[in-house]
Chain A
């Protein structure tokens, strides 16, 4: 029998027991909606966690340090006296050219004496890349982000700002003065490492106050209280600890960095960059293992949510089987007639499969729609709840296209499997017995 006739007959048969078949299809739809709802929740939560973690700047970042570095994150490694590459501009550019690398910037931070209102204060100043504007720590910032890469502007950490003024918000728009040691290359130095140190002073306007330090606990050891634009920090040529060590090295290449921060496109790209950096002879630190664990955690969550979601579909599949078995009993004589008229066992089997598939496709599509609507309602409710809690709005429900296609395909597969037994039973019917059936 041709496919068009097969589906035409299946459609006609389904229409004949409209209520029962509609209820069976509704059962599949509820099962699919449950599956979509559960998996969408898992995916939504995972995406939300990924989004938050990515915005924290911890999971898409690799910290690169020289193996000759005594301090930092590679304390377990013994420094090598010779043959160790130093972190300089060359390796910075080399890493920046790697695929999926978004930016590479040095970790510039230095202690300074800061003057405000005529009083001196000790503070650690750190350069902040302009990309940090998207960092989670800057959410809820009072004031604004830097107006430009070379702007003489500063963002203060709230705890430090309170030391300057009990009302930190009052500092916004005020100037602070920082004193720092500038590393000035000697014009006639014998080696590129030769430099002099000059005391400099610079006025910075406070433009923002933040509650948490960006990249907290990841970069450097000393917590910074004042943040300035990274390009500005680089142009200040502040004396760094590595500069002094460079002086002791006979073939010092000149300006070196304590450590470099490499930001990649997504947490998935961390491993490749890590491998490259290690092969280049540098020490690395990242939260790759934590990312892996997080992914594993969500994979398990998704698995369990999927299993719970599938339970409803499993129950619905029993409904399909029941409907088709009932249909065989009711249409026993009809099957006998069809066989007497020349229908093969395969024709009968395919007809029942087509009916099961039609219910699966309709139920799957309706179920996805139902699940999607449910998700919209829950997202709406979640937003209202978060607003009441004065928390930033989040979508915890996400229905990607592959889930839509997958859920429909899964529903069809489940219905076809459910139709296996009834279809085989219908095909095996003895036409003589079937024709006698009243």
Chain B
């Protein structure tokens, strides 16, 4: 998918994120320029410590850049207040993590419902949307279960349902297959691919699994030492085998 300027979902300009650790200054992200079009599925590859998760956190609004700016759907994140940034995380982005990050004391239903509590969605609408989201990831019958009662793949599917329940336009996935076996990893990426097909849904996925990225992502970016190393692989057509109903 080509990305024209007026269809940009994410635009990062000279983004830096430096940390001071004792006497040392760590340049986790060092002057990155990035443009991702609306509806693109971009994989961000790199070795551990290359700065890819830091960049993802900056785009997610969980962290603020030391320099540069990030514009997502026309909103400059650097200009947002803390409360506005929380609103941005609630409404614009959905996140999935390597460690799933489901809350262990809550049932799947409660976990998926949680973002809607922050978004002040009315209770009847919440129930409807939780059921839809769980059905989409094939966990409709497990809504009463707690995360510990599910397999890793199921937990990540539940995390995907939670990320989508507030109907975001950007899905940010941080090593979503990192804790999964190859079968479940592939299943998750197939689901993410399906989600990317939703109208206007942009996906940015951090991974170190090049093979899966090449199969599912339309564009691959590679990071090393806080910088982007070239454009990576050219946009790929969506794999035919990745098709399938999402419910």
Interface size band for A: 20 to 34
B82 contacts the other chain (Cβ, under 8 Å)? yes
Residues of B80-127 at the interface with A, using a CB-CB cut-off of 8 Å, are 82-83, 86-87, 89-91, 95, 97, 101, 103, 105-106, 110, 114-115, 117-120
Contact of B117 (CB < 8 Å), options: A1, A344, A346, A431: A1
Contacts of B114 in A (CB 8 A): 338, 341
If over half of B's interface residues share one DSSP class (helix, strand or loop), that class is named, otherwise mixed; here it is: helix
Q: Is the CB of A340 within 8 A of B118?
A: no
Interface string of A404-438 (1 = CB under 8 A from B): 00000000000000000000000000111001000
Q: Is the CB of A16 within 8 A of B105?
A: yes
Query: In the complex, what's the smallest C-beta–C-beta distance from B110 to chain A, in angstroms?
Result: 8
Query: In the complex, what's the smallest C-beta–C-beta distance from A24 to chain B, in angstroms?
Result: 18
Q: Is the CB of A337 within 8 A of B101?
A: yes
Contact of B89 (CB < 8 Å), options: A5, A16, A342, A432: A342
* Highest count of chain A CB atoms <10 Å: which of B86, B110, B162: B86
Query: In the complex, what's the smallest C-beta–C-beta distance from A348 to chain B, in angstroms?
Result: 10
Knowing A9-B117, A342-B119, A344-B82 are in contact, say whether A435-B101 is a contact too (CB < 8 A).
yes
Contacts of A103 in B (CB 8 A): none
Question: For the complex, what is the distance from the CA of A341 to the CA of B93, rounded to whole Å?
Answer: 9
Contact of B90 (CB < 8 Å), options: A341, A346, A432: A341
Contact of A339 (CB < 8 Å), options: B62, B91, B119, B162: B62
B133 contacts the other chain (Cβ, under 8 Å)? no
Q: Is the CB of B62 within 8 A of A1?
A: no
Q: Is the CB of B83 within 8 A of A334?
A: no
Q: Is the CB of A344 within 8 A of B97?
A: no
Query: In the complex, what's the smallest C-beta–C-beta distance from B108 to chain A, in angstroms?
Result: 14
Q: Is the CB of A340 within 8 A of B60?
A: yes
Nearest residue (CB) in A for B159 is A337
Nearest residue (CB) in A for B172 is A340
Query: In the complex, what's the smallest C-beta–C-beta distance from B64 to chain A, in angstroms?
Result: 10
Nearest residue (CB) in B for A438 is B99
Knowing A1-B117, A341-B115, A435-B97 are in contact, say whether A346-B89 is a contact too (CB < 8 A).
no
Q: Is the CB of B101 within 8 A of A344?
A: no
Q: Is the CB of B103 within 8 A of A1?
A: no
B166 contacts the other chain (Cβ, under 8 Å)? yes
Knowing A333-B101, A431-B62 are in contact, say whether A338-B83 is a contact too (CB < 8 A).
no
Knowing A1-B118, A435-B97 are in contact, say whether A345-B86 is a contact too (CB < 8 A).
yes
Question: For the complex, what is the distance from the CA of A9 to the CA of B117, rounded to whole Å?
Answer: 10
Query: In the complex, what's the smallest C-beta–C-beta distance from B25 to chain A, in angstroms?
Result: 18
Nearest residue (CB) in A for B105 is A16
Residues of B132-166 at the interface with A, using a CB-CB cut-off of 8 Å, are 162, 166
Knowing A345-B82, A346-B83, A435-B97 are in contact, say whether A340-B62 is a contact too (CB < 8 A).
yes
Query: In the complex, what's the smallest C-beta–C-beta distance from A368 to chain B, in angstroms?
Result: 31
Residues of A299-353 at the interface with B, using a CB-CB cut-off of 8 Å, are 333-334, 336-347
The 3 closest A-B pairs by CB, nearest first: A342-B90, A344-B86, A5-B117
Show 9 residue pairs from A and B whose CB-CB distance is below 8 angstroms, ordered by the A residue: A1-B118, A337-B101, A337-B103, A339-B89, A340-B60, A342-B89, A344-B86, A345-B82, A435-B101
Other A-B contacts than A12-B110, A339-B86, 9 sampled, CB-CB below 8 A, are A1-B120, A2-B117, A9-B117, A12-B106, A337-B101, A340-B95, A344-B87, A431-B63, A435-B62
